[in-house]
Amino acid sequence: MDCELILPLDVPDESRATELLDRVGSEVAWVKIGLQLFTRHGPGIVERIAARGYRIFLDLKLHDIPNTVASAIASLGHLPIDLLTLHASGGREMLRAAEAMKNEVRPSLTLLGVTVLTSTDAAGLAEIGIDASPETQVLRLAKLARAAGIGGLVCSPLEVGRLRETLGPDVTLVTPGIRPAGADADDQKRIMTPGAAARAGASFIVVGRPILRAPDPAAAARAIRAELTSA
Ligand code: C5P
């Protein structure tokens, strides 16, 4: 199964994003636009970056009542996006309403369920009344999202093998927390190399700082893609 690289545009504003894309050029095909750029520049930034030829992962992590999430997806339906996140903990009805709306407005879009944020540990779950381990909760929410028809999931590299095994070949699995061998881990605690994540069953890997901070971001992206191809 092919695994593709996604570059997160973790920069404060559009001019920095544009500078970065001028440097990476076509060495990446996919970029992730998150809340930082979307809330600053609005949906127009998605159109402008897509017009440069990039495919877009819009990481908005939607979570609200079913009608509101479905309405937000209706509002996003005209945007050239391929992947969009929402919180699986929004529950079955929210997930179903979201999937039904995306099938109406943009069938080619894949919704990705976010299970448990990696910033939340067992103690954090307990504080919000969930007495399950993060691993158990991830699997529960992943199954719930799939049962509601959601096409994919965002997961940590350490979960990707188990989710691929449990959920089969059709689910799209997107994983951050990737570091090429020898790269600085930064604040990522549980990391995997691009090749290992691809072999474990990731459909996409999200790699930020090892590319963003490289003296030659295009070369860094090219090396990661070469590792994915040989995996
Ligand atoms: O720089 P780095 O490769 O760590 O960036 C990873 C990207 O994936 C960032 O945009 C980060 O917000 C995102 N992410 C993550 N861990 C998660 C979920 C998202 O690192 N659990």
Q: Is the CB of 188 under 6 A from ligand 1?
A: yes
3-state secondary structure of 37: helix
Specify the number of domains making up the chain: 1
Contact 35, 25 (CB under 8 A): no
pLDDT in tens, 166-177: 999 999 999 999
Q: What is the mean pLDDT of the chain?
A: 96
Residues 200 and 157: their CA atoms lie apart, in Å, by 8
Decide if 143 is catalytic: no
Inter-residue contact 74 to 115 (CB < 8 Å): no
d(CA 31, CA 18): 12
10 lines ligand 1 (CB under 6 A): yes
Instruction: State the Cα–Cα distance between residues 130 and 107, nearest whole angstrom.
Output: 34
For residues 163 and 192, the answer to whether their CB atoms sit within 8 Å is no
Q: Which of 150, 222, 149 is nearest to 180 (CA)?
A: 222
Whether 34 shows a pLDDT value over 80: the answer reads yes
Report how far residue 218's alpha carbon sits from residue 226's, in angstroms, rounded to the nearest whole number: 12
pLDDT tens figures, 199-231: 999 999 999 999 999 999 999 999 999 999 998
Q: Residue 11: which CATH number? A: 3.20.20.70
Q: Report if pTM > 0.75.
A: yes
Q: Is 104 within 8 Å of 131 (Cβ atoms)?
A: no
Distance 104 CA to ligand 1 centre (A): 30
Of the residues 178, 206, 207, which should be mutated to test ligand 1's pocket, given the most ligand atoms within 8 Å of the CB? 206
In short, whether 134's Cβ falls inside 6 Å of ligand 1 is: no
CA of residue 206 to ligand 1 center, whole Å: 7
Q: Is 80 exceeded by the pLDDT of residue 1?
A: no
User: Sorting pLDDT into bands at 50, 70 and 90, what band is 188?
Assistant: confident
pLDDT (tens digit per residue) in 118-150: 888 999 999 999 999 999 999 999 999 999 999
Report the chain's terminal Cα–Cα distance, integer Å. 10
CA distance 150 to 44: 26
Instruction: Give the range of the structural domain holding residue 96, as residue numbers without chain letter.
Output: 4-230
